Amino acid sequence: MDAFPTTIALIGIVILIASLASGVLERSGFPIVAVFLAVGAALGPYGLGLVDIGFHSPELHALAMLALAMVLFSDAVTIDATEVRTRRPLLWRLLGPGTIFPAALIALSARFLLSVSWPAAAILGAALASTDPVLLRSVLRFPGFPKVPRIALRIETGMNDVVLLPVVVLSILALGGTTSTAPGPGGEVARSIVSLFILGPALGALVGWLGIILLERIRSRWGVRRDYESLYAIGLALSAFAFAEGVGGSGFLAAFAAGFMVSSQDVELCDCFLEYGEATAEMLLLLTFVALGTSLVWTGLEVINFRTVVFVVIALIARTVVLYPVLTQAHVTGNERKLIALFGPRGLSSLLLTLLPVFAGVPGAETLFAITCLVVLCSVAAHGTGIAVYLRRNHIARPAEAAAPAAPSPKPLPIIDQPAQASDRITIDEVRQLQASGEDVILLDGRAERNRRNSDTQAAGSIRIDPHDPVRDATELRLSQRATLVVYCA
């Protein structure tokens, strides 16, 4: 197949499967990553042979770069600055010893077990210390998951990549490779470091700051359509990435800095601003899993031997071994400590980080990528199964809700003057008319948690529902199916 139709077909397949299977997969806890790796294998040379995406594919290069930039931006935007401030001791332990020590242990293991150079070992250590947000999404959205582990894992998945990315980039420079912005071995390394780690984040922060100020002024004066506001996040991420890359900075760090600037300003954002960007990032990640699943990720099976198996075991348990004592110092104990320490899957972030030296032309980088693939495949099996078992057990163990009262007999809806034309929106005056007529009206607070916490107002008598899964909450709350549900999110 030609490259362009193949790319379009892959995008279509990912969107269709992700949409149709989302509910089933979320309820079952089955790792969605495994499904899309299987889709890639079915389309690749091991299956139907329709497509084979290799290291030199321009589509893979563009997709991997955009996916890593979008996941960094999305992670930064969803960071709750209030939670970060209140959980500062936990934050420093997760991003300090909780991230650096596992990376160091994995790097040491790679150096002596796999006989790779120190910079190559550092790349493996940094890449395999990255916690995957896609595999964790189902458990983080599970309402029964304890609050402290939820916050800890969100902080870790949202911020540890930005700690580990500089290690990968510096190791690439040490091995004589070229990043998209850094000069080769004949260039000035010091100048490269300044450009990558100072210029990039500075430009990203500037783009995020100016972007939010512009959005706020335009929205307050003329208004911004919700559907276009949801696209605005993608524009900020891509603009920050492009501006930094264009002047010699790190586009990845710029994307993270732009997202963090948006988050730290604590502006009242439309929920769709966050949700659309997060959904787009996830689609890119799943699409990348399909592309890698056609053939590249299975190269991990070709490097299996005694030494690599031992290395895989160390790479998967290093984080747990380190976090147990670290979390105790942060006064996290018992079941909460166990959940944080055990739920640390390795996934696409690790693969993307080890793709960077491949794209940079580092000698032996394809072997590093194959070893990372083996760790990721084992992690998908081990962590994915563990998460699925946890979700299944806790769904079953949840106490049954009290029996719902009998629903009142339906009443005819009153006629409302000037109803909205072909719209599902309702005004405050229309809500009051419904209530005055005796109609059963239920107000639902569907704001994102951060927006809700930072607001001083709430509709009287409203019921809180999770905006990520309102149908589940409505079912568990046994809301009347004959009532008029009015949801507000701003």
CA distance 203 to 241: 9
Over residues 257-275, the mean pLDDT reads: 71
Domain range 3-397, CATH architecture:
Up-down Bundle (1.20)
User: For residue 186, is pLDDT > 50?
Assistant: no
| pLDDT digit string, tens, across residues 450-484 | 666 666 677 777 888 776 667 667 776 777 777 88
pLDDT band at 274 (very low <50, low <70, confident <90, very high): low
Q: How many residues does the chain have?
A: 490
CB atoms within 10 A of CB 116: 19
pLDDT for the residue numbered 404: 41
Q: Is 394 or 97 the better-scoring residue by pLDDT?
A: 97
- Give pLDDT, residue 66: 85
Q: Are strands 484-488 and 463-464 parallel, antiparallel or unpaired?
A: unpaired
9 has a pLDDT exceeding 80 = no
State pLDDT tens for residues 199-230. 888 999 999 999 888 988 888 788 777 667 77
Mean pLDDT of 287-306: 91
CA distances from 107 to 114, 379, 401 (A): 10, 18, 50
Higher pLDDT, 120 or 91: 120
Residue 348 has pLDDT above 90, yes or no: no
Give tens-digit pLDDT for 89-107: 888 888 899 999 999 999 9
- Condensed to tens digits (0 to 9), the pLDDT of residues 415-444 reads 444 444 444 677 777 878 877 887 788 888
* pLDDT number for residue 20: 82
The answer to whether residue 306 scores a pLDDT higher than 80 is: yes
Write the pLDDT tens digit of every residue in 10-39.
Answer: 778 777 877 787 777 766 767 788 888 888
Q: What is the pLDDT of residues 35-59, one digit of tens each?
A: 888 888 888 888 888 788 888 888 7
Residue 247: pLDDT band with limits 50, 70, 90? confident
Q: Please, what sign has the CA dihedral across residues 166, 201, 347, 316?
A: positive
| 463-470 LR contacts (CB < 8 Å, sep 24+) | 466/141, 466/143, 467/271, 467/275, 468/141, 468/275, 469/26, 469/141, 470/444, 470/446
| Highest mean pLDDT of the ranges 36-45, 245-254, 312-321, 419-428 | 312-321
Kindly report which listed range (71-85, 188-202, 306-320, 411-425) carries the lowest average pLDDT score: 411-425
Query: At residue 187, does pLDDT exceed 50?
Result: no
**Both tokens assigned to 311:** 């290395």
State how far the alpha carbon of 164 is from the alpha carbons of 102, 106, 168, 272, in Å: 11, 13, 7, 29
Contact 329, 97 (CB under 8 A): no
- How far apart, in whole angstroms, are the C-alpha atoms of residue 131 and residue 279? 19
d(CA 254, CA 263): 14
Confidence of residue 163 (pLDDT cuts 50, 70, 90): confident
What is the C-alpha end-to-end distance of the chain, expressed in Å?
47
Residue in 451, 320, 394 with CA at minimum distance from that of residue 146: 394
**Which range is least confidently modeled, 81-95, 145-159, 173-187, 232-246?**
173-187
Q: Is the pTM of this model over 0.85?
A: no
Copy the structure tokens of residue 232: 């605005």
DSSP state of 182: S
CA R_g for the chain: 24
The answer, yes or no, to whether residue 256 has pLDDT greater than 80, is yes
pLDDT at 270 over 60: no
For the chain, what is the largest distance between any 2 Cα atoms, rounded to a whole number of angstroms? 81
Give pLDDT tens digits for 127-142.
Answer: 999 998 778 877 887 7
**What is the CB neighbour count within 10 angstroms for residue 3?**
12
Confidence at residue 133, expressed as pLDDT on a 0 to 100 scale: 79
- Those residues whose C-beta lies under 8 Å from the C-beta of residue 292, and which sit 6 or more positions away, are 37, 40, 53, 60, 351, 373
Q: How far apart are CA 303 and CA 114, in angstroms?
A: 11
Percent of the chain with pLDDT over 70: 81
Q: What are phi and psi of 486, to 5 degrees?
A: -115, 115
